[in-house]
Structure 1
Amino acid sequence: MGLLDRLTGRKPRSEESATTVEPTPSSAPEPVVSLPSTSPAHDALRDVQPNATLLSAAGLSAPQGKLYNPYEGLSTQAIGTKPHLFRLPEQPEFVFEEEASVRRRDWTQHLQFYCGGGYLAGGVVGVAAGLYKFVVTKPEVVTDTLKLKTNRLLNTCGSFARPWSNSCGIMGLFFSGAESLYVYQLEPYGVPDNACTLLAGFTSGALFRLPRGPRQAAVAGAVGVVAAGGITALRKVFPSL
């Protein structure tokens, strides 16, 4: 077959296969990695000066809050990307909407807060009164040793702290229960919270002095209204009260 191919002028198959250029396999196309597109709301919260068009499209207003730069002290070459400033929220953020809608403690937390706070406050006042009496009162015994002084100090402070703590704890119990009840019953009728607090102060004072008669109860209720007014004023400065 090789001699016949040469006589006819045809190249052998081996030479044809040698001269034939095999096509190189095409390289597989590189996968295109697309970055996740950020929503207009995310861009509006991230940029220092957000685009007004993005804000209007997302239905958002200009974000408020303190600016925070996490790349402070670093150069642009070290970061490798355009730095962005973030706005820190000025108010607490909640995961669930139910938590954001809560404006006050529930009645169990209210009860624990005012009972415990009243008991501790009464104890502090009682200890302070006991210390004052210990300082101004002279002992009847001439030979007063260190053990006698310590014993007299503990007895004096305890005699004042126990009734004050119990009384203030009971007042906190009456006040928290009455306020929770008034808010639950009167809030649907449009009664403000401050009015419920004043009513709770009158009720707690009147209940505390009711065993001594109606006159004492009325006077104690008036004192309770004044104390409740002080709590209302303090809540503007300390909302957690």
Structure 2
Amino acid sequence: MSRAVDAQEPGEGLRRLYAPERPQGLGVPTSYQALYDLPTSPECLFQEEARRKTRTWGENLTFYTGVGFLSGATAGALVGVRRAAAEAERGESAKLRLHRVLNHSGTLGRSYGNRLGVMAMVFAGTESFVRYQRDGANDWVNTVAAGTGAGAIYHTASGPRAMIAAAVLGGVLSGAAVAARPVLQRFAPEIVARWDNL
């Protein structure tokens, strides 16, 4: 039970006010910081989840697609703002310039976001498939194979030459991401730890 303080307000009768700074009984913590001193490690409901080292295929699909769409939408919006600034003419009103910026950034943001989201979705599906075929192995081979496969699948309709070029580009980019991870882990371990916990 917490301590209550009697206080007399002008024009009011006697009333009881809660005083959280002076708790007593039942082992109530003496500071608010103790209430919010929570663990930073991920909490799992089942033991199977705690033993799992990677995301499931559904979590992978959702995560990569969301990150891809948001990254593409942001990049497209920035390109749209730059393009709108380049097309601006002397003597235009601020309202017309604002509409041009909104139109360009909305159109390009949506287009880039959709493209990158679809590429990320294909990458996540390919990576889960490769991991399944390798009996759950989770190493750099999965990432490079997924990048190569995603590039090839995404450009399948463009013909064999474009498909091969996109597969090579996807493999090189995913290999660069794998090679950059140790460097990032050395100089920014907090970012890598948060990325792993997502």
> Scaled by the length of structure 1, what TM-score is found?
0.55
Does 2:120 match 1:166? no
Q: Is the 8 A contact 1:187 1:193 kept in 2?
A: no
Alignment equivalent of 2:60, drawn from 110, 118, 121? 110
Unaligned regions of 5+ residues in structure 2, if any? 1-38, 186-191
Q: Is the 8 A contact 1:205 1:223 kept in 2?
A: yes
Alignment equivalent of 1:129, drawn from 63, 69, 79? 79
Distance 1:93 1:125, change over 3 A: closer
**Structure 1: how far apart are the matches of 2:124 and 2:167?**
15
Unaligned regions of 5+ residues in structure 1, if any? 1-88
Deviations 1:176-210 (CA, angstroms, capped at 9, x unpaired): 0000011011136xx55210111000011111111
Q: Is the 8 A contact 1:122 1:167 kept in 2?
A: yes
Deviations 1:24-69 (CA, angstroms, capped at 9, x unpaired): xxxxxxxxxxxxxxxxxxxxxxxxxxxxxxxxxxxxxxxxxxxxxx
Rg larger in 1 or in 2?
A: 1
| Partner SS for 1:239 | helix
Return the offset for 1:100: 2.5
1:4 alignment counterpart: none
**Structure 1: how far apart are the matches of 2:40 and 2:65?**
32
**Structure 1: how far apart are the matches of 2:74 and 2:65?**
14
Distance 1:179 1:187, change over 3 A: same
Does 2:181 match 1:234? yes
**Structure 2: how far apart are the matches of 1:192 and 1:154?**
43
1:66 alignment counterpart: none
Amino acid across the alignment from 1:159: T
Deviations 1:112-162 (CA, angstroms, capped at 9, x unpaired): 1011110000000001111111222333xx641122111111111122112
Alignment equivalent of 1:193, drawn from 130, 139, 155? 139
Q: Which has the higher contact order (CA 8 A, sep 6+)?
A: 2
**Structure 1: how far apart are the matches of 2:69 and 2:155?**
18
Alignment equivalent of 2:163, drawn from 217, 220, 225? 217
Q: Is the 8 A contact 1:126 1:162 kept in 2?
A: yes
Return the offset for 1:240: 4.2
**Structure 1: how far apart are the matches of 2:124 and 2:47?**
26
| Deviation >6 Å, runs of 4+ | none
What RMSD over aligned residues (CA atoms) do the two structures have, in Å? 2.5
What does 1:77-88 align with in structure 2 at a 5 Å threshold? none
Distance 1:105 1:192, change over 3 A: closer
Alignment equivalent of 1:206, drawn from 137, 148, 152? 152
